[in-house]
Structure 1
Amino acid sequence: MNKFVHQRHKSPTHLTRPRELIVACVPMRSNVNISQIARTASACAVEKMIICGNASLISKIARDATSELSVSTHRSLAPVLKKLKQNGYRLVGIEQTSNSHNIHDFSFHRRTVLVIGNERLGINDEILNQLDDVIEIPVWGMPHSYNAASAANMALYEYCRQFPQG
């Protein structure tokens, strides 16, 4: 007889304060990626997500995220980021650049907007120039980068690891 009783699903970890993290996605080609990012953002107790262009969530993929996460759609991300920066948010993009920081050595600020790039084109120069920081996730094989949803999920998890109570 097994001495251990395993509980398949546990209740979410209680946060002592709301997360001050916003996920912002540049226009993407794939609603699957957007939906996967939304699902992870919701699991991380992120309350707000910004999407651009013609993106929309696929409810079967995003699942519970649609009720827990406030998603707003904008034509352009640049003016939204400008306002968020004026409101004290630190703008952090996930991208491989000459000045990007390894995510393993990066300390997030509590008030952060995590900017996710396009699957093929990354983050354009207009948005890159607005960012306070750019982080990259090391890659040890081919291709040279993770897909947008995978990279976003890793960065979301790292933020939550650094601020486990919210």
Structure 2
Amino acid sequence: MSAVFEQVRHRPPRPLARPRELVVACAPMRSNVNLSTIARTAGCCGVSRMIVCGHARLDRTIARDGADAVELEVRNSLPPVLKTLRADGFRLVGLEQVTGSADLHSYSFHRRTALVIGNERAGLSADELALLDDCVEIPVWGLPFSYNVATATSMTLYEYCRQFPDG
């Protein structure tokens, strides 16, 4: 016997019991498409704060409601941002393929996390990596050797939300 499904478009967001203690911090991005996609996903995940570096601009047709749901702070450089976030009690978690990185499938996030995203081509610099508490990476089973930065960020944000579904 098969189930009967009725389409429900644009179901209202699931309410959070408490605000998310997750900040997304991005190095300067080459593509406003990637940045806008990350903002849209952050909005879907209930993330209220993104710190972006460089000449960041959102494409509102891509970011859509995420552009309004997420407070976007633009800064010049990532290392001072990371130092401030650490002083504010955030665990700094880079999304990067490095020696000693944890597999996203087995990583346990801290509730108060700053997810640090590198540039699409260069990743995170040595100075930025030196400031991190942890790095996570997402296994790849084919080519190319890594996921697109917006795709990888989306997967990582979803995993954080899976671990903290109520905020």
Task: Answer whether TM exceeds 0.5 for this pair.
Answer: yes
Task: Structure 1 unaligned segments of length 5 or more: list them.
Answer: none
User: What aligned pairs does 1:51-70 form with structure 2 within 5 A after superposition?
Assistant: 51-70=52-71
1:128 aligns with 2:166: no
Q: Distance in 1 between matches of 2:107 and 2:71?
A: 27
Return the offset for 1:163: 0.2
Aligned to 2:101: 100
Q: CA deviation at 1:6?
A: 2.8
CA 1:121–1:11 in structure 2 vs 1: closer, same or farther (change >3 Å)?
A: same
1:163 paired residue number? 164
Partner of 1:152: 153
User: Equivalent residue of 2:94, what SS?
Assistant: strand
Return closer, same or farther for 1:122/1:6 CA change in 2, 3 Å cut-off.
same
What is the aligned partner in structure 1 of residue 90 from structure 2? 89
Structure 2 stretches of 5 or more lacking a match?
Answer: none
Q: Distance in 2 between matches of 1:7 and 1:142?
A: 36
Quick one: which amino acid aligns to residue 126 of structure 2? D
CA distance in 2, matches of 1:163, 1:145: 26
The Cα shift of 1:5 comes to 2.9
> What residue in structure 1 maps to residue 27 of structure 2?
26
Taking a change above 3 Å as real, the CA distance of residues 130 and 14 of structure 1, as seen in their structure-2 partners, is: same
C-alpha displacement of 1:9: 2.2
1:8 is the counterpart of 2:9: yes
The one-letter amino acid paired with 2:115 is L
- Name which of structure 1's ranges 6-15 and 62-71 shifts more when overlaid on structure 2: 6-15
Pairwise CA distance, 1:3: 4.8
Partner residue in 2 for 1:49:
50
For 2:49, give the aligned amino acid.
Answer: K
Distance 1:141 1:15, change over 3 A: same
RMSD across aligned positions (CA): 1.1
Secondary structure of residue in 1 paired with 2:25: strand
Q: TM-score, normalised by structure 1?
A: 0.97
Structure 1 CA distance for aligned equivalents of residues 4 and 117 of structure 2 = 44
Mapped pair 1:112 → 2:126? no
> Normalised by the size of structure 2, how large is the TM-score?
0.96
Please state whether the residue corresponding to 1:39 is helix, strand or coil. helix
1:9 and 1:120, CA in 2 relative to 1: closer, same or farther beyond 3 A? same
